[in-house]
Amino acid sequence: MESVFNNLIEDCFLRDHIEEEIYLLSENMQSTCDDFVNILPSIINHEIFSFLSAKDLSNCSLTAKSWREIANSNALWRYHCKIRGWLKFGEQQELLPVENDVEGSNSNKISHPKFQVPFYSDTISKICYWKIIFLKVHHLNENWKNGRYTPYPIYTAHSDKVLCIDCKDNLLASGGLDRIIKLWNLRSKQCETTIHTNSEIYSLLFHNNQLIAGCDNGNILLICYKTGKILSTLMGHRGSVIKLIYAVYLITACLDHSIRLWDLEGKKCIHCFSNHQDDITDIAKFGFNLVSSSFDGSLCIYDLKNPKLNHQLIGHKDIVSCICCDNELVVSGGSDGELFVWSISTGNLFRKLIGHFGDIHAVTMNDELIASASEDTTIRLWYIDEHFYSCKILKGHHLGIVSILNLSNNILISAGHGKKIVVWEWRTERCLHVVHRQPIQLHCMCVSDTRIITASPSSPGSLAIIDYWK
């Protein structure tokens, strides 16, 4: 018997042999002997338990108190969070653990998204931090999958059309034609700050401690979102600033056909690209590359390290309305109903994707697929392989133009003129649920891990919040 334990202790860290050693242990130990958890050193027990799945680890917690104490380990549960990409939730305020709640043991509100920590008696230790994080994120994912959400009332946010929104943690910023920027607390669902400006607001971006606003008069406002004070104004554009992104510099796209790079520390423009002959429709970034699309039917790829134009791409027969970048590729969709897949580094055309029967209004992608939405009311999934051949069609749920797409992990969210939001599981091409609470068509959408926020293009401007957490 002693030799069995010696062999186990020698080899337990060798993953190739540990299953054989555990089998040897089980064959040689009598059924009446002490639990091996009480015999082995804690470091050995921990190593054994590290081979278990999250489900098996939870089941072990139900076996015996000694097993639960080992399974209730921050190191073990942090590992399971890490391999799923969930570490960020350990620092996200709305997903922090709470005290064990007696109500959690009796609640059976399976249709409600609120999470409640399982109840345990005072005779055992509390659930460890990272297991609570794991349980919460699993619960959140089940909410998305099963359509468990809390819809909050439609807010009349602005006296005129809402043109842009952006989110940061529990803050929402909205702006529009009424020349007002509003900052909303997403926990209380109340407007906390109202900022009056002298121009219509066409774009918003949270960056560090600032809210950046692009205006109709070409100005860019730098605002402290904590106080609502306008800190500085960047001037140079001669038209509506319609797009804002941050990549090395603040990048602004304007209806004066130009894109400007700004040094926020020095509050100055360091470069201006003027390569398009018509209004810019979209911009996107990948690494140190910037891509723009235009009404002139072309795309431009720029180098941000040493600001210059690398490639101008010609191929579309009409307006290029939307673009996205990932994995060294840029995908463009246009009013000609066609998708083009280009190489960012060479500017070469990889593939033309034909299938839509109307203007393409939105495109998004990840490492595995490209998703496109069109005026033909369908969404097409183009699975990425060497030849870009595989295509699936999602249809039957949208009755009008699909103009908004958001792709995150295994979830694809679509919206548009059909006045509803559809949540899909793109791997199975299955509609998970439809949110039937949009009385008007949708113009823009923000999606976080826990919420969907939408704005309408109608007047007065309204906002809607769909909360999948509580």
Higher per-residue pLDDT: 403 or 143: 143
What pLDDT, on a 0 to 100 scale, did the predictor assign at position 71? Answer: 92
Higher per-residue pLDDT: 440 or 166: 166
What pLDDT, on a 0 to 100 scale, did the predictor assign at position 458? Answer: 79
Q: What percent of the chain has pLDDT over 90?
A: 53
Binned at pLDDT 50, 70 and 90, residue 108 comes out as: very low
Residue 447 confidence (pLDDT) above 80:
yes
Binned at pLDDT 50, 70 and 90, residue 398 comes out as: confident
Binned at pLDDT 50, 70 and 90, residue 211 comes out as: very high
Residue 353 confidence (pLDDT) above 70:
yes
Binned at pLDDT 50, 70 and 90, residue 96 comes out as: low
User: Mean pLDDT throughout 15-28?
Assistant: 52
- 300/257 Cα distance (integer angstroms): 12
Tokens coding 260: 């400007």
User: Mean pLDDT throughout 98-110?
Assistant: 39
| Each residue's pLDDT tens digit, 413-423 | 998 887 788 99
Binned at pLDDT 50, 70 and 90, residue 388 comes out as: low
- 191/184 Cα distance (integer angstroms): 4
Residue 121 confidence (pLDDT) above 70:
no
Of the ranges 66-75, 394-403, 461-470, the best mean pLDDT one: 66-75
- 108/162 Cα distance (integer angstroms): 39
Please state the CATH superfamily assignment of the domain spanning residues 150-467 in this structure: YVTN repeat-like/Quinoprotein amine dehydrogenase (2.130.10.10)
What pLDDT, on a 0 to 100 scale, did the predictor assign at position 151? Answer: 87
Residue 383 confidence (pLDDT) above 50:
yes
What pLDDT, on a 0 to 100 scale, did the predictor assign at position 12? Answer: 45
Q: Are 339 and 319 in contact (CB under 8 A)?
A: no
Residue 308 confidence (pLDDT) above 90:
yes
| Each residue's pLDDT tens digit, 149-176 | 988 877 788 899 999 999 998 899 999 9
- 162/176 Cα distance (integer angstroms): 4
Q: Which of 112, 143, 111, 151 has the alpha carbon at shortest distance from 439? A: 151
Please give the backbone phi and psi of residue 410, each rounded to the nearest 5 degrees, phi first: -100, 5
Q: Are 288 and 248 in contact (CB under 8 A)?
A: yes
What pLDDT, on a 0 to 100 scale, did the predictor assign at position 230? Answer: 95
What pLDDT, on a 0 to 100 scale, did the predictor assign at position 7? Answer: 55
What pLDDT, on a 0 to 100 scale, did the predictor assign at position 284? Answer: 96
Q: Are 333 and 323 in contact (CB under 8 A)?
A: yes
What pLDDT, on a 0 to 100 scale, did the predictor assign at position 14? Answer: 43
Beta bridge partners of 353: 339
What pLDDT, on a 0 to 100 scale, did the predictor assign at position 259? Answer: 97
Binned at pLDDT 50, 70 and 90, residue 102 comes out as: very low
User: Mean pLDDT throughout 389-407?
Assistant: 81
| Each residue's pLDDT tens digit, 187-197 | 888 899 999 99
Where in the chain are the domains?
2-146, 150-467
Sorted by sequence, the CB contacts under 8 Å of residue 437 that are 6+ apart come out as 151, 154, 464, 466
User: Mean pLDDT throughout 301-312?
Assistant: 95
Residue 343 confidence (pLDDT) above 50:
yes
Binned at pLDDT 50, 70 and 90, residue 133 comes out as: very high
User: Backbone dihedral region of 304: left (phi > 0), alpha (psi from -120 to 50 degrees) or beta?
Assistant: alpha
What pLDDT, on a 0 to 100 scale, did the predictor assign at position 267? Answer: 93
Decide yes or no: CATH 1.20.1280.50 for domain 2-146.
Answer: yes
User: Mean pLDDT throughout 313-330?
Assistant: 92
User: Mean pLDDT throughout 213-219?
Assistant: 97
- 274/278 Cα distance (integer angstroms): 10
Please state the three-class secondary structure of the chain as a single string: CHHHHHHHHHHCCCCCCHHHHHHHHHHHCCCCCCCHHHHCCHHHHHHHHCCCCHHHHHHHHCCCHHHHHHHCCHHHHHHHHHHCCCHHHHCCHHHCCCCCCCHHHHCCCCCCCCCCCCCCCCCCCCCCHHHHHHHHHHHHHHHHHHCCCEECCCEEEECCCEEEEEEECCEEEEEECCCEEEEEECCCCEEEEEEECCCCEEEEEEECCEEEEEECCCCEEEEECCCCEEEEEECCCCCCEEEEEEECEEEEEECCCCEEEEECCCCEEEEEECCCCCCEEEEEEECCEEEEEECCCEEEEEECCCCEEEEEEECCCCCEEEEEEECCEEEEEECCCEEEEEECCCCCEEEEEECCCCCEEEEEECCCEEEEEECCCCEEEEECCCCCCEEEEECCCCCCCEEEEEEECCEEEEEECCCCEEEEECCCCEEEEEECCCCCCCCEEEECCCEEEEECCCCCEEEEEEECCC
What is the rounded average pLDDT for all residues in the chain?
85
| Each residue's pLDDT tens digit, 356-380 | 888 999 999 998 899 999 888 889 9
Higher per-residue pLDDT: 155 or 211: 211
What pLDDT, on a 0 to 100 scale, did the predictor assign at position 416? Answer: 82
Residue 6 confidence (pLDDT) above 90:
no
User: Mean pLDDT throughout 128-133?
Assistant: 92
Tokens coding 176: 């529009």
Binned at pLDDT 50, 70 and 90, residue 437 comes out as: low
Q: Which residues of 70-93 are buried (b: 16+ CB within 10 A; e: fewer)?
A: bbbbeebbbebbeeeebeebbebe
| Each residue's pLDDT tens digit, 78-92 | 999 999 999 989 887
Residue 303 confidence (pLDDT) above 70:
yes
| Each residue's pLDDT tens digit, 23-34 | 555 556 555 556
Same fold, 2-146 and 150-467: no
